A and B are shown apart, each in its own frame.
Chain A
Amino acid sequence: MFLELQFVLPEIGLLALAGVVIGLDMTLRRAARRSLGWVTAAGLAILLGVAVWSALHPAGDEILGGMLRADTLAASFRVIIIAAAMLSVLLAMGVEGLADRGEAYALMLVATLGMCLMAAAGDLVMLYLAIETTSIPLYLLAGYLKRDTRSTEAGLKYFLFGAAASTVMLYGFSLLFGFTGETRLAAVAQSIAVGSMPRVLWVAAAMLVLVGFGFKVSAVPLHFWTPDVYEGAPTPITAFISTASKAAGFAVLMRVMLTVFTPAVAPYWVGVVVAMSVASMTLGNVLALTQKNIKRLLAYSSIAHAGYALIGLVALSPLGVASTLFYLGAYVITNLAAFAVVIVVARIVGSDDIAQFAGLSRRAPMVALALMIGLLSLAGMPPFVGFVAKVFVFAAAVQRGYIWLAVVGVLNSIVGLYYYLIVLKVVYLYRSENEAQPLPVTAPYKWALGLTMLGILVLGILSGPWFDWAIRAAGSIY
């Protein structure tokens, strides 16, 4: 029991770090609190190292009485989540109203803790607790700018939608528990496999559970909250929700759907997820076409990316799981790069309108280049990581005979390319009056941009070792 704690070292560290940040927040003078971001980011960097170490040395099985699973898949998601949290904290350091608030950093750490537990949960109770530990801090953070009506609206909307989805999901959990008498996922799966539950009911349970998870990953038709929340929430929080929270959502989605409702017994949900994937890609990309606000555009693009990642899930193969994991890693790092640029620009020009990006390439060529790399990676252009990631998910689909799904994905990526190019056109082509003014980039943003650019290129060009890692992680399910 005591030895097993080594596998949750990152989680323990997150909790301790949250305590330290709150403590410092109470003792430090207001001016000194700005450096809390550095403390949090440095702490997360150390925990990232621990998480990587622990991903390379997984226990491979259930720990703590079956509450958590310490396998490579969980540990890999934990690496992605902690990395996303670290970058989001860096992004928060330049935003008025967040930068000098210790509690904001502490809330982000608690949400990160919840996400790590989501990825590792091996029991329905643990899973529900982890989801709520994640969600509640995020509701607060989305509405954190109390004097900004859009932020308040975002917080309330996120809370209402989230609570509703959570309730529906809980109902699904209760069906599973009621009929099988088990809460451990592995035991529930065994019980379903021997036919303890009428087919109608577990199909219903699967659908109810999908509602909760679909909300977390913002897949159509559970995406309605996304644009408003992404637009209204403080941008670093938007970045955090759109990356870490989505990755954690996919972690539970894959684990529960593939292990509890094993496809061998229950192929019925697969068709629904295929439909969700197609709808998410298509709707996300098509609605992104008309957006005038960069945060809304990225919101719709994130819906589309959830659709691409779902392709890996419906392939129902080790390759599929590995490709989804790789895709999420790629998406997280790329999307954070894009949001970093959005914040850098919005801090100075004071607006998130795409039109405000005019002349950026003359004003700050390096920032414009970073945005270009980020958007092209999202569009799936080599040598950036988005290209290999897309090839992997499409390959997973083709391998399982879903050639039409790969074609839908491919056609959607063309629509995607169109609106990313529109943004780049504004950045590179249009002139603005203020292009002679410099655009200062402060140290946290230099770090965030540097790290994400490095990630985009290294993962994109030297993808081999990372993909092997993802294949190992897929071994946790298959």
Chain B
Amino acid sequence: MTFPILSIIVFTPIVAGVIILLLPAERKGWIRGVALLASAVALLLSVVAYFSYDIPQGGYQMVQKIPWLPAWGISYHIGVDGLSLPLVLLTGVVMFTGVLISWGVDDRPREFFGFLFILATGVFGVFVSLDLFQLFFFYEIAVFPMYLLIAIWGWQKTREYAAMKLTLYLFIGSVVALVGALAMFFASGLHTFDMLELERAGFSGAFQRIWFPVVFFGFGVLGGLFPFHNWSPDGHVAAPTAVSMFHAGVLMKLGAFAALRVGIMLLPEGAKVHLPWIIFLALVNVVYGALIAMVQTDFKYVIGFSSVSHMGLVMLGFASLSREGYIGSGLQMFSHGVMTALFFAVVGMVYDRAHTRDIPKLGGFARKMPVVAIAFIVGGLVSMGMPGLSGFIAEFPIFLGVWSAQPIVAMIAALGIVVTAAYIMIIVRRVFFGPMPEEFEGHIGDVTPLDKLALGVLSFILIALGVFPAWMAPLVASGVNSVMRLLGGA
């Protein structure tokens, strides 16, 4: 038997989470130590897994299958392909940097890291699942701890409301999708939840037309698809920094990824019928999200709505039903994950020192915390899709794909990018440059070395992908092959 690297990646966080929960509460140093160690292990293993994937061979690799509930044809079945592997790496990165940035959490750090790591296991689990039941199992594990993480450690003003709203939205989405999954299980007649077999089930056209929207929107809720996006800015804003990073950076990808894997790949005929109109919803995401972000005065809300806008691009790529579109979406999921984690980290650092996120009240932070300002500018340029950075690598193929499907949509969506450029530049000017208000003079210091390390890691990835896309693009393209095979079949 080969080394079960994916299983170890999936279960490292939850094992660490349980160990942390069993440590005495006053041993805060140990708790942080275990957290850092576990996240470093998970990151390291994700990197190893990432670079050991054999691209020419393609398909699912590092597969492991163990019967779990044989009576239902459910097994513990994991493996990665070119679409999921970048997301596994992304989760490892966000988890590691999230721990670095949360070093200062002082209220019950034991529970904080414990819940955060249980959530991380859920996220890893979804990305590597090749079994539909198992996917739901991990999906719910990823959703729930969010409630406590936001409600306990979140921003006092809105945390109770936002946490409840987010949890209920996501739970509704997932259980609705679950009914769709059960329908697929019985309709296939194969008596299995194995997604590789369900891909070949040959569902009838009518069945696919009915159930595709159920499954796609069920997961699309977590992907922030309009009009089910509105839990997301509230949730992101109320969450503590590391949780916002996780949430916008990784969890929204979870929704988009599951919508792709379960919705589009298992019900391709339904996808072909419905995606041509869903493209307009995605377009609303892109443009409307950017416009709303533009008029916000709360720094964190700007970033929250920018996530809605950028996730719209992912959905737009899916809905283009073209090869370029899917490659772009695959890259965009990774790129946006890193970028938004960076943004939320920056917002958190500014807020921790200024105790306000009101953009008009801020200013001049570049002088006090230059590293943070540089990191934010890197993220901002990525967000605008500047060539040489990962955003361009991701967004360009999406626009190519959308252009081939619906030129008008591509043109309107491009407006979203212009608006994005506008709000990013406004923030850079207002928050980081200009005069610093007197009240901040004197007591605003620089960020800690750990924070700088986290920002450095995230910025490095964004730049590396921009200047040298070959370390990810061929991988994603190999993953897209199997999607296109399913879509092109009939």
Point out residues on A near B: beta carbons under 8 Å.
361-362, 365, 369, 372, 376, 381-383, 387-388, 391, 394-395, 398-399, 403, 406-407, 410-411, 413-414, 417-418, 421, 424-425, 428-429, 463-464, 467-468, 471
Contact = CB atoms under 8 A, between A and B. Distances in A.
A256 B425 CA distance: 73
B123 to A, nearest CB: 14
A429 B182 contact: no
Interface in B135-178: 136-138, 140-141, 144, 147-148, 151-152, 160, 164, 167-168, 171-172, 175-176, 178
13 contacts: A361-B108, A372-B148, A381-B141, A383-B137, A391-B182, A406-B182, A414-B172, A421-B164, A429-B151, A464-B70, A467-B72, A468-B70, A471-B71
Contacts of A395: 72, 182, 185-186
A291 to B, nearest CB: 17
A362 B171 CA distance: 27
Contacts of B67: 464
B182 A394 contact: yes
A414 B71 contact: no
Given A383-B137, A391-B133, A464-B67, A421 B179 contact: no
Contacts of A424: 147-148
Contacts of A406: 179, 182
A464 B69 contact: yes
In order of increasing CB-CB distance, the 6 nearest A-B pairs are A410-B175, A398-B182, A382-B137, A464-B69, A382-B140, A395-B182
Nearest to A368: B111
B68 interface: yes
A416 to B, nearest CB: 10
Given A365-B25, A421-B164, A429-B160, A410 B176 contact: yes
Interface in B174-233: 175-176, 178-179, 182-183, 185-186
Contact of B68 (A372, A381, A464): A464
Given A464-B69, A464-B70, A468-B71, A417 B179 contact: no
Nearest to B70: A464
B152 A428 contact: yes
Contacts of A381: 140-141, 144
Given A414-B172, A425-B160, A428-B151, A365 B178 contact: no
Given A381-B144, A403-B183, 9 more contacts: A394-B179, A398-B186, A410-B176, A410-B178, A417-B167, A418-B168, A424-B147, A429-B160, A464-B69
Given A369-B21, A421-B167, A410 B186 contact: no
Given A429-B152, A463-B69, A399 B137 contact: no
Contacts of B168: 414, 417-418
A372 B114 CA distance: 14
Contacts of A399: 186
A399 B191 CA distance: 11
Contacts of B108: 361-362
Interface string B48-74: 000000000000000000011111100
Is chain A's binding surface mostly helix, strand, loop or mixed?
A: helix
A418 B172 CA distance: 11
Contacts of A421: 147, 164, 167
A413 B136 CA distance: 15
Nearest to A415: B168
Contact of A418 (B68, B72, B164, B178): B164
A116 B185 CA distance: 36
A376 B143 CA distance: 12
A376 B144 contact: yes
A417 B164 CA distance: 10
A381 B176 CA distance: 14
B25 A407 contact: no
Nearest to A394: B182
B346 to A, nearest CB: 27
Interface residues of B, number: 36
A216 to B, nearest CB: 29
Interface string B15-49: 00000010001000000000000000000000000
Contacts of A388: 69
B179 A410 contact: yes
Contact of A398 (B110, B171, B179): B179
Given A365-B25, A425-B160, A382 B141 contact: yes
B141 to A, nearest CB: 6
B223 to A, nearest CB: 19
Residue of A365, A372, A468 with most partner-chain B CB within 10 A:
A365
Nearest to B69: A464
A428 B21 CA distance: 15
A417 B133 CA distance: 20
Contacts of A413: 175
Contacts of B133: 391
Nearest to B68: A464
Contacts of B72: 395, 467
B179 A428 contact: no
A270 B376 CA distance: 63
Nearest to B114: A369
A468 B67 CA distance: 13
Nearest to B110: A365
A403 B178 contact: no
A428 B185 CA distance: 38
Contacts of A403: 179, 183
Contacts of A382: 136-138, 140-141
Contacts of B179: 394, 398, 403, 406-407, 410
Contacts of B186: 395, 398-399
A19 B133 CA distance: 49
Contacts of A387: 137, 140
Nearest to A410: B175
Contacts of B111: 361, 365, 428
B403 to A, nearest CB: 39
A381 B175 CA distance: 11
A376 to B, nearest CB: 7
Nearest to B118: A383
Contacts of B176: 407, 410
B268 to A, nearest CB: 22
A362 B110 CA distance: 11
A149 to B, nearest CB: 36
B26 to A, nearest CB: 12
A407 B172 CA distance: 11
Contacts of A391: 133, 136, 178, 182
A414 B151 contact: no
Interface string B79-123: 000000000000000000000000000001011000000000000
Contacts of A365: 25, 110-111
B205 to A, nearest CB: 19
Contacts of B137: 382-383, 387
A467 B71 contact: yes
B358 to A, nearest CB: 25
A428 B69 contact: no
A442 to B, nearest CB: 21
A425 B163 CA distance: 10
Contacts of A467: 69, 71-72
A424 B149 CA distance: 12
Interface string B259-278: 00000000000000000000
A464 B71 contact: yes
A376 B147 CA distance: 12
Contacts of A394: 178-179, 182
Contacts of A418: 164, 168
A154 B336 CA distance: 59
B7 to A, nearest CB: 14
A398 B183 CA distance: 7
Contacts of B148: 372, 424, 428
A421 B182 CA distance: 26
A355 to B, nearest CB: 15
A406 B108 CA distance: 39
A164 B301 CA distance: 60
A468 B70 CA distance: 9
